[in-house]
Chain A
Amino acid sequence: MSNDDNNNTPLTLKKIGLFLKENGVSVQPLQESANVVETFLIETKQLIKTCELLKNNKDMKFDLLVSISGVDKPDENSIESVYHLFSTEYHHKVVVKAKAPRDNPVVPSVTNLWITADWHERETFDLLGIKYDNHPNMKRLLMPDDWIGYPLRKDYIENDERLIWNKR
């Protein structure tokens, strides 16, 4: 993996990161995935601003939201919401991460910018419990509506009433 080679070199901002920094977003570069895609962490307060910049600026034009996913990190007591963006005009990609505290994770929704975000955010809410602010329909997507707990969290305990079917 090329990632191992890069572990010692300090992380620096590249084109997209520098662009965001110029526009007043505090960007923290992270290890790039496969040495190709720029990855950085931003403050959750500035998520909407960042996404608007990335979508509407004529040099960026990230018009396609590829996916929204979540990462549960109990060691750091935080949950990350991960956005993969792609520009169909310039063919460049970027990964943006936003952190939220683990006991009450709230992240602003980006459904106003990309309508694709609707179901992606519902799925992330369903499995990891990240609540997206201003989402039009923040309900569970894959599990039943009244399910107890968020299954993909590291400390998930199966305690739903329905699981009595599974006992032997």
Chain B
Amino acid sequence: MAITKIIFTTVDFFYNWARANSIWPLTFATSCCAIEMMSTGASNFDMARFGCEVYRATPRQSDLMITAGTITHKMAPAMVRLYEQMPEPKYVIAMGACTITGGMYENDSYSVVRGVDRILPVDVYIPGCPPRPEALLDGIIQLQKKMRKETLLDRKKYLEAHKPKVMLPPEDSDILHPIPEMEIYHWGVQQEGYDLTKLPLLREK
């Protein structure tokens, strides 16, 4: 048992080192955060310095989805489809206020999904409207730190945590249904009487 752990630690180190230093994000951007994302990729900020090299135009070749921009109810099924097409292991960065809580559409919009974490498992949240390229770089570095801590032994746990939180619809409908057994954690800002001490915080786990 001890020997397997030692072997796995060594394998994990190199495996994670290789993975974390060549993240390939998906070219997926829906609104103004995309401009900052493009700027991050361009020469002034140069995301490649941190090993987040190249935007792929197909989900089949990418590890990371940066949801840059407002997600509407019409876009949501397409986004879930793209996420499911990405190969494991896959990660999601929620970039900007719209993808964290709905942002300025939070109160009475009819068309905007209030935060992308309602439908996808999010690894890193980057606040801002839109966030500066430095913030996106910081988010990517945080994600790399997270990736370096993972181990192959936790693969089952990983797969469980990285399921989409909704089911894809049948062919004739657009409606996505939440998975009932999966509890969705909300970082509520409006509900009163929120006892933060009793709330299971995802980040502390």
Interface residues of chain A, those whose CB is within 8 Å of chain B, are 142-147, 151, 156, 158, 160-162, 164-166, 168
20 pairs of residues in contact across A and B, judged by CB atoms under 8 Å: A142-B111, A143-B74, A143-B110, A144-B73, A144-B74, A144-B77, A146-B175, A147-B73, A151-B110, A151-B111, A156-B110, A160-B73, A162-B73, A162-B175, A165-B166, A165-B178, A166-B102, A166-B114, A166-B118, A168-B191
Tally inter-chain residue pairs, CB-CB below 8 A. Answer: 41
> Which B-chain residue is minimally distant from A151 (CB atoms)?
B110
* Contact of A165 with B191 in the complex, beta carbons under 8 Å: no
> DSSP class of A's interface residues: helix, strand, loop or mixed?
loop
Give CA–CA (A164, B73) in the complex, Å. 12
From residue B173, how far is it (CB to closest CB) to chain A in Å? 6
Give CA–CA (A158, B191) in the complex, Å. 19
Give CA–CA (A162, B173) in the complex, Å. 12
From residue A128, how far is it (CB to closest CB) to chain B in Å? 13
* Contact of A144 with B190 in the complex, beta carbons under 8 Å: no
Interface residues of chain B, those whose CB is within 8 Å of chain A, are 73-74, 76-77, 102, 110-111, 113-114, 118-119, 166, 173-176, 178, 186, 188, 190-191
* Contact of B191 with A146 in the complex, beta carbons under 8 Å: no
In-complex Cβ contact of A162 among B102, B176, B190 (8 A) = B176
Residues on the B chain within 8 Å of A156, using CB: 110
Residues on the A chain within 8 Å of B176, using CB: 162
From residue A47, how far is it (CB to closest CB) to chain B in Å? 29
Residues on the B chain within 8 Å of A142, using CB: 74, 111
From residue A5, how far is it (CB to closest CB) to chain B in Å? 36
Residues on the B chain within 8 Å of A146, using CB: 173-175
Give CA–CA (A62, B166) in the complex, Å. 50
A144 with B113, Cβ < 8 A, contacts A165-B118, A165-B119, A168-B186 known? no
Task: Indicate the member of A146, A158, A168 with the most B CB atoms within 10 Å.
Answer: A168
> Which B-chain residue is minimally distant from A140 (CB atoms)?
B74
Give CA–CA (A52, B173) in the complex, Å. 40
Give CA–CA (A156, B110) in the complex, Å. 10
Give CA–CA (A57, B113) in the complex, Å. 48
